[in-house]
C-alpha cells in the first residue's frame, strides 16, 4: 500500500469544494433566459378533479405559462413506470395503476402534481400557483396498508382490487409449515418497520432546457443514475429520443435512494421548456421534499421462527404487508420482494423459509428504496425475533446466534441467495470484545444504583450488495441490467481520465476511484481525474445505489485498466525491445523485469499518441472501455452491539456505547468507509429512536411535514462509534470488495431496539422508540 494506493486513508479530493461552498449543484446552474417553475399540488389525499381554472393565474405579472396534465397527455408524454415486474403467486402480473406526471382526473396523495406554473421569478410563479383554482370532489382516503386491503376501503386505482398490487411469495410454504408444526418452540412477533422520509441535505431540483435550433434537450437533475434517467425518459415517457437528450447530474448532495427514481418534475420541466421556449428550473423546497420524495420502509409483518429442542432454527415464516403509496415508483416492487425476502435467512442456517408479501396502494407518497432498501426490513425482522427467542428460551442471545450461524461457504439459502464468503464468528467475537460484553452485568448494576435502566442488544446482519448479475435480475423481473461501465483514457502526457457510470453524491468516488488508478500504475492521484454524471461525456452506465459502486463500478474500472495495461505493455516491450511478458509496471514506470531498462509512464502514453513507433498493426491511442457484469451479489455482514441507559422517569434513551464490527471485504480507503458507516448508523439510530412519517389517518394529510415534527438525528443524539473490520475478501469480483454504504443503516436499528427492550424488560416496543413509547413500555412491564 502506497500513501495514495489501496488501503490508504487519503483525505477526500472533493471536500475542498464542498466545504468551501464551491460545489456546483443543479440549483446553482443558471442559463440565459432561464425561468422558474412552481408546481400546483393536491391539497387532498384522494379527490376527483372536477375542473382546473388557470385564467386568473395566467393573467398575473411575470407569468410565462400555466400548463396542466391534459396538454401533457395530448403531447404524447407517457405515464411514470415501475421498472421491475413482479408476478403474484397466482401467476398474474402486478396491478399497476397510471401515474400521470400531472394529474388531471384524480389525485391520490397530498402533494400530487397537478399543474406547472412558469414565471420570470420564483415568487411570481408561486403567487400564480396560488391563483390556480382546482375544484375537487373529495374522496375518502386510506393511509395504512393493512387497512387499505380490507373490503369497503377507498379504491385508489381501478386496476388493483382491494388496492393489492401483488400477493407474492418466496420459499417453500409446505416445508415451512411442517417445520412450524413439529417445532419445540415458536417465537411469534408482529413487527412494524416505520416509514421514513429520506431528507438528503440537497432537495431535488431540475433544469430543463430545450434548444429549438438543435432540436435537443438538456436536463440537469439531482439524480443518482443520469443514464437510467435518460433511458427511461426517452423510452417510456417520450420526452425525446436518447440522442437528443442529455442528462447531467452534477454535484448531488445526498440521495439515500430517493434520487434513483424519475419523478414527474424532470419530465414536466423538459416538456414545459419546449412548450414555452425558455429553460425551466424547479427546486424543491423542504415541505415539497417531505410531501413528494419517495419514502422508505413502511412494512407490517408477522414472523414465526421455529426452533427444535436443541434450539436450532428449523423454519421461518414471514407475512409482510408493504405500503407502496399512491403510485408505483421506479423500483418500488423490487424493494419489498427481491431486496427483502431474499435476506430472510440472515446469518443463519435455516432449512425452510417462506415469505409472503402483499404490496398495497395507499393515499400516501410513493414508497421506494431508501438506504438499505428491503435489507434493513429483513434484518430487523430476523434480529428482533432471534433476540426475543433467546429471551423466551432463556438462553444467551450470543449462543443462540452462534448455534445457528452458517459456517461453510458457499451456502445456498432457501431464498435464492448464495452466500459466497463470510466469517460471522469473527465479527461477533470482535464486537463482544470491543463492547466488553462480559463486563455488562457490572455496568448494569452501577447504572441501577444511579436509578437508570441499562440494556445491551446486538444485531448480526447480512445484506446483499453489488447489485447485480444482469441475467439473474432479469429472470426475476428487472427491466434493466445491473452491470457497470468504465472508460480509462490515458492522455498523451500520461495523465488519466476515468469515465465511470457510477455516480457520486457524497460517497467520495473522486478519491476512492483515483486511489485505485494510483495503486495500479504508481502515478500520483493528482494526475487522475474521475468523470461522472453526464450522459454526453460518459458511456452508458447504471449509477449508484445498493452499495454497488465499489463492487461493480470499480470492477468495471479494473477491467478497463487491464486492457490499458496490456496495450501499454505491448508498446513498452516494442520500444525497449523486450518480451511483453517481461514488462512490469512500478512507481509510474514500465520496466523490463531483471534489467535496468525502464520507460516513464508518460513516454509510453506519448508514444501511443505520436504513433511514430508502434508495434506493427497497432492502433494509435491509449483508451479502453469495459463493461462489468457481476457474477453474484456480494454479502457484507457484521455484528453491532449497542448499550443504552433508559431514564425510567421519562423514557429517554441514551446510547452509551455503540460497537460496529463489519466485514466489507477488501477496503480501498478506510477513512471513507468509516464515514459511510458513521452516516449509516446515524440513519439507523434515526429510524430506531427518532424518525417517523405520520399521516392523519382520517384525511391523509401529512403531519410530519417539517422538522418541527419530523425528528432527524442530531450530533448530540449520537455516541462515538467504535468500529472495526474483519475481512473475508469477496470472491466474485477482482478487488474482493463487498460494499459498505448501507450496512450501518441495516445493522443498527435492531441492535438499538434489542438494547432498549433488554433495559426495560419488555419486548413489545416499536420504532421509533420515542421517550413516550419507552416510558409506556417500561411501565407496562413493571
Partner 1 sequence: MYATHYHRASSVQDALSLKSAAEDSRYLSGGMTLIATMKQRLAAPTDLVDLRHVEAMKGVTVAGRTVRIGAGTTHYDVASSAALAGVCPAICALASHIGDPHVRHMGTIGGSIANNDPAADYPSALLALDAVIVTDRREIGAADFFTGLFETALVEDEIVTAVTFEAPEKAGYAKFPNPASRYAMTGVFVTKGAGGVRVAVTGAGSDGVFRHAGLEQALSARWSPDAVAGVAVDPSNLMADLHASADYRANLVKVMTKRAVAAA
- Positions touching partner 1 (CB under 8 A) are 123, 126-127, 130, 287, 649-652, 689-690, 694, 703-704, 707-712, 770-772, 775-776
Q: Coil, strand, or helix at residue 36?
A: strand
From CA 733, how far away is CA 421, in angstroms rounded? Answer: 12
The C-alpha cell that represents 245 in the structure block: 437528450
Q: Coil, strand, or helix at residue 436?
A: coil
Non-local CB neighbours of 399 within 8 Å, separated by 6+ positions:
none
In the complex, minimum distance from the CB of residue 9 to partner 1, in angstroms, rounded to a whole number? 32
Q: Coil, strand, or helix at residue 230?
A: helix
In the complex, minimum distance from the CB of residue 533 to partner 1, in angstroms, rounded to a whole number? 31
Nearer to partner 1, 34 or 711 (CB): 711
From CA 79, how far away is CA 77, in angstroms rounded? Answer: 7
With residue 180 as reference, give the H or E element that holds it: helix 173-182
Nearer to partner 1, 126 or 443 (CB): 126
Nearer to partner 1, 656 or 690 (CB): 690
Apex CA 476: angle with CA 559 and CA 632, to 5°?
30
In the complex, minimum distance from the CB of residue 771 to partner 1, in angstroms, rounded to a whole number? 7
Smallest CA-to-CA distance from 322 within 371, 370, 357, 374 is with: 357
Nearer to partner 1, 282 or 710 (CB): 710
Nearer to partner 1, 124 or 167 (CB): 124
Got the DSSP string for 255-297? -TTTTTS--HHHHHHHHHHHHHSS-EEEE--HHHHHHHSPBB-
CB distance 661 to 427 below 8 Å = yes
In the complex, minimum distance from the CB of residue 185 to partner 1, in angstroms, rounded to a whole number? 35
Got the DSSP string for 371-388? TTTTHHHHHHHHHHHHHH
Count of beta carbons in the 10 Å neighbourhood of residue 92: 10
CB distance 118 to 278 below 8 Å = yes
From CA 96, how far away is CA 324, in angstroms rounded? Answer: 11
From CA 139, how far away is CA 18, in angstroms rounded? Answer: 46
Nearer to partner 1, 570 or 652 (CB): 652
From CA 676, how far away is CA 683, in angstroms rounded? Answer: 11
Handedness of CA 324, 328, 332, 338 (dihedral sign): positive
Nearer to partner 1, 74 or 708 (CB): 708
DSSP 573: H
In the complex, minimum distance from the CB of residue 45 to partner 1, in angstroms, rounded to a whole number? 18
Apex CA 634: angle with CA 533 and CA 173, to 5°?
120
Nearer to partner 1, 130 or 619 (CB): 130
From CA 327, how far away is CA 128, in angstroms rounded? Answer: 27
In the complex, minimum distance from the CB of residue 684 to partner 1, in angstroms, rounded to a whole number? 16
Nearer to partner 1, 211 or 717 (CB): 717
Apex CA 191: angle with CA 186 and CA 196, to 5°?
160
Query: Which residues lie across from 300 on neighbouring strands?
Result: 192, 321
From CA 635, how far away is CA 563, in angstroms rounded? Answer: 28
Handedness of CA 276, 281, 287, 293 (dihedral sign): positive
In the complex, minimum distance from the CB of residue 689 to partner 1, in angstroms, rounded to a whole number? 8
In the complex, minimum distance from the CB of residue 691 to partner 1, in angstroms, rounded to a whole number? 9
Nearer to partner 1, 31 or 698 (CB): 698
From CA 247, how far away is CA 249, in angstroms rounded? Answer: 7
Nearer to partner 1, 3 or 703 (CB): 703
Non-local CB neighbours of 40 within 8 Å, separated by 6+ positions:
113, 114, 115, 116, 117, 129, 132, 134
In the complex, minimum distance from the CB of residue 717 to partner 1, in angstroms, rounded to a whole number? 8
Cα Rg, the chain, nearest whole Å: 27
In the complex, minimum distance from the CB of residue 775 to partner 1, in angstroms, rounded to a whole number? 6
DSSP 300: E
Non-local CB neighbours of 423 within 8 Å, separated by 6+ positions:
663, 726, 728
Dmax over Cα atoms in the chain, in whole Å? 87
In the complex, minimum distance from the CB of residue 716 to partner 1, in angstroms, rounded to a whole number? 10
The C-alpha cell that represents 200 in the structure block: 438528503
Nearer to partner 1, 528 or 752 (CB): 752
Nearer to partner 1, 208 or 713 (CB): 713
Nearer to partner 1, 652 or 678 (CB): 652
In the complex, minimum distance from the CB of residue 197 to partner 1, in angstroms, rounded to a whole number? 12
From CA 209, how far away is CA 272, in angstroms rounded? Answer: 9
From CA 547, how far away is CA 369, in angstroms rounded? Answer: 12
With residue 557 as reference, give the H or E element that holds it: helix 554-575
Nearer to partner 1, 203 or 541 (CB): 203
Nearer to partner 1, 425 or 764 (CB): 764
Nearer to partner 1, 122 or 476 (CB): 122
CB distance 129 to 40 below 8 Å = yes
CB distance 732 to 725 below 8 Å = no
In the complex, minimum distance from the CB of residue 40 to partner 1, in angstroms, rounded to a whole number? 14
Amino acid at each position: 500500500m502506497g500513501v495514495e494506493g489501496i488501503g490508504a486513508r487519503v483525505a477526500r479530493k472533493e471536500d475542498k469544494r464542498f466545504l468551501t461552498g464551491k460545489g456546483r449543484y443543479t440549483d446553482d446552474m443558471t442559463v440565459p433566459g432561464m425561468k422558474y417553475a412552481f408546481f400546483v399540488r393536491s391539497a387532498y389525499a384522494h379527490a376527483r378533479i372536477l375542473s382546473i381554472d388557470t385564467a386568473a393565474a395566467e393573467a398575473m405579472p411575470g407569468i410565462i405559462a400555466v400548463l396542466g396534465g391534459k396538454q401533457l397527455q395530448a403531447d404524447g408524454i407517457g405515464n411514470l413506470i415501475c421498472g421491475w415486474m413482479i408476478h403474484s403467486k397466482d401467476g398474474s402480473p402486478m396491478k399497476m395503476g397510471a401515474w400521470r406526471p400531472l394529474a388531471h382526473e384524480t389525485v391520490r396523495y397530498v402533494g400530487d402534481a397537478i399543474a406547472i406554473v412558469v414565471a420570470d421569478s420564483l415568487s411570481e410563479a408561486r403567487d400564480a400557483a396560488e391563483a390556480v383554482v382546482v375544484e375537487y370532489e373529495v374522496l375518502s382516503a386510506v393511509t395504512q396498508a393493512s387497512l387499505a386491503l380490507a373490503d369497503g376501503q377507498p379504491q385508489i386505482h381501478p386496476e388493483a382490487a382491494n388496492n393489492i398490487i401483488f400477493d407474492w411469495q418466496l420459499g417453500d410454504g409446505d416445508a415451512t409449515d411442517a417445520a412450524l408444526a413439529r417445532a419445540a418452540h415458536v417465537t411469534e412477533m408482529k413487527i412494524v418497520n416505520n416509514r421514513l422520509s429520506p431528507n438528503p441535505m440537497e432537495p431535488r431540483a431540475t433544469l430543463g432546457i430545450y434548444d429549438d435550433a438543435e432540436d435537443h434537450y438538456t436536463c440537469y437533475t439531482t439524480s443518482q443514475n443520469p443514464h437510467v434517467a435518460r433511458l427511461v425518459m426517452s423510452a417510456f415517457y417520450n420526452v425525446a429520443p436518447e440522442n437528443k437528450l442529455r442528462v447531467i447530474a452534477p454535484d448531488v448532495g445526498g440521495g439515500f435512494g430517493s434520487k434513483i427514481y424519475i419523478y414527474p418534475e424532470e419530465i414536466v420541466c423538459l416538456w414545459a421548456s419546449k412548450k414555452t421556449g425558455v429553460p425551466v428550473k424547479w427546486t424543491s423546497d423542504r415541505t415539497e421534499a417531505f410531501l413528494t420524495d419517495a419514502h422508505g420502509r413502511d412494512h407490517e409483518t408477522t414472523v414465526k421462527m421455529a426452533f427444535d429442542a436443541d434450539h436450532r432454527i428449523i423454519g421461518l415464516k414471514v407475512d409482510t404487508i408493504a405500503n407502496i403509496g399512491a403510485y408505483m415508483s421506479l423500483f418500488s416492487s423490487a424493494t419489498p420482494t427481491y431486496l427483502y425476502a431474499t435476506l430472510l435467512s440472515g446469518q443463519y442456517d435455516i432449512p425452510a423459509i417462506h415469505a409472503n408479501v402483499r404490496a398495497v396502494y395507499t393515499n400516501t407518497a410513493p414508497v421506494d428504496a431508501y438506504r438499505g432498501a428491503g435489507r434493513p426490513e429483513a434484518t430487523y425482522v430476523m434480529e428482533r425475533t432471534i433476540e426475543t427467542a433467546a429471551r423466551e428460551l432463556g438462553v444467551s442471545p450470543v449462543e443462540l446466534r452462534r448455534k445457528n450461524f452458517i459456517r461453510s461457504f458457499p451456502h445456498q439459502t432457501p431464498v435464492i441467495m448464495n452466500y459466497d464468503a463470510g466469517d460471522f464468528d469473527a465479527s461477533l467475537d470482535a464486537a463482544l470484545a470491543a463492547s466488553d460484553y462480559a463486563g455488562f452485568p457490572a455496568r448494569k448494576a452501577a447504572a441501577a444504583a444511579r436509578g437508570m435502566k441499562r440494556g445491551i442488544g446486538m444485531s448480526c446482519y447480512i445484506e446483499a450488495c453489488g447489485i447485480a448479475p444482469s441475467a439473474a435480475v432479469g429472470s426475476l423481473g428487472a427491466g434493466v441490467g445491473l452491470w457497470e461501465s468504465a472508460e480509462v483514457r490515458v492522455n498523451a502526457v500520461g495523465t488519466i481520465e476515468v469515465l465511470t457510470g457510477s455516480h457520486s453524491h457524497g460517497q467520495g468516488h473522486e478519491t476512492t476511484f483515483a486511489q485505485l488508478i494510483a495503486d495500479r500504475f504508481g502515478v500520483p492521484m493528482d494526475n487522475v481525474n474521475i468523470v461522472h454524471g453526464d450522459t454526453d461525456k460518459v458511456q452508458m452506465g447504471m449509477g449508484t445505489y445498493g452499495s454497488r459502486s465499489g463492487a461493480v463500478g470499480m470492477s468495471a474500472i479494473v477491467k478497463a485498466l487491464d486492457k490499458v495495461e496490456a496495450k501499454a505493455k505491448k508498446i513498452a516491450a516494442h520500444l525497449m525491445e523486450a518480451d511483453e511478458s517481461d514488462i512490469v509496471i512500478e512507481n509510474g514506470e514500465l520496466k523490463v523485469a531483471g534489467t535496468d531498462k525502464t520507460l516513464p509512464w508518460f513516454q509510453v502514453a506519448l508514444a501511443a499518441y505520436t504513433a511514430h513507433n508502434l508495434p506493427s498493426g497497432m492502433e494509435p491511442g491509449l483508451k479502453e472501455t469495459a463493461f462489468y457484469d457481476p457474477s453474484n451479489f456480494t454479502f457484507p455482514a457484521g455484528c453491532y452491539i449497542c448499550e443504552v441507559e433508559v431514564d425510567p422517569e421519562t423514557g429517554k434513551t441514551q446510547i452509551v456505547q455503540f460497537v460496529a464490527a463489519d466485514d466489507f471485504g477488501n477496503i480501498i480507503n478506510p477513512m471513507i468507509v468509516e464515514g459511510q458507516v458513521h452516516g449509516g448508523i446515524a440513519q439507523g439510530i434515526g429510524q430506531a429512536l427518532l424518525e417517523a412519517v405520520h399521516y392523519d389517518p382520517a384525511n391523509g394529510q401529512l403531519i410530519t411535514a417539517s422538522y418541527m415534527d419530523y425528528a432527524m438525528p442530531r450530533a448530540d443524539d449520537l455516541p462515538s462509534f467504535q468500529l472495526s473490520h474483519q475481512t473475508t475478501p469477496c470472491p466474485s469480483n477482482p478487488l474482493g470488495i463487498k460494499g459498505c454504504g448501507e450496512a450501518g443503516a441495516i445493522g443498527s436499528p435492531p441492535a438499538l431496539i434489542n438494547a432498549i427492550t433488554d433495559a426495560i424488560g419488555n419486548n413489545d416496543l416499536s420504532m421509533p422508540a420515542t421517550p413516550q413509547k419507552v416510558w409506556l413500555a417500561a411501565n407496562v412491564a413493571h
